[in-house]
Amino acid sequence: MNVIEVSADGIALWYCPACKHGHGVPIEGQPGRQQVWKFNNRKQKPTLTPSVIVRDIPKRSVCHSTITDGVIEFMKDSTHSMAGKTFTMKKMPQDEPLGPRVEEKSK
């Protein structure tokens, strides 16, 4: 079961149980992207580095996570209730809309 999908334009997409929508980041091998993440190319047990920060500006929310071997760990600076928790990734629900595309690498 794939828990991460890669779109035709090189965006790795997964479901975030804290934000209850998808997140996506561009992965290596995409020319012209300002920042890319390293991906281990294992869609069933993905690892993305470095961590991913998603800011929803209107809601002033932050979702900061690492993805390692198919497990999401939410960093404690996340503003949602899953901060500090881990989650074994599940299949992305079909037709899941992507959330705001404001992902950043951790500093």
Q: Which residues bind Zn ion (CB under 5 A)?
A: 16, 18-19, 63
Q: Which is nearer to Zn ion, 29 or 58 (CB)?
A: 58
Rounded least distance, CB 1 to Zn ion, Å: 20
Rounded least distance, CB 42 to Zn ion, Å: 21
Q: Which is nearer to Zn ion, 12 or 63 (CB)?
A: 63
Long-range contacts: 64-70, Cβ < 8 Å, 24+? 64/106, 65/16, 65/18, 67/4, 67/14, 69/45, 70/3, 70/44, 70/45, 70/46
Q: Which is nearer to Zn ion, 8 or 57 (CB)?
A: 57
Rounded least distance, CB 81 to Zn ion, Å: 11
- Composition of the chain by helix, strand, coil, percent to 5: 0, 45, 55
Q: In Å, what is the CA distance from 8 to each residue of 11, 14, 47, 56?
A: 7, 15, 19, 25
Q: Which is nearer to Zn ion, 39 or 51 (CB)?
A: 51
Rounded least distance, CB 32 to Zn ion, Å: 26
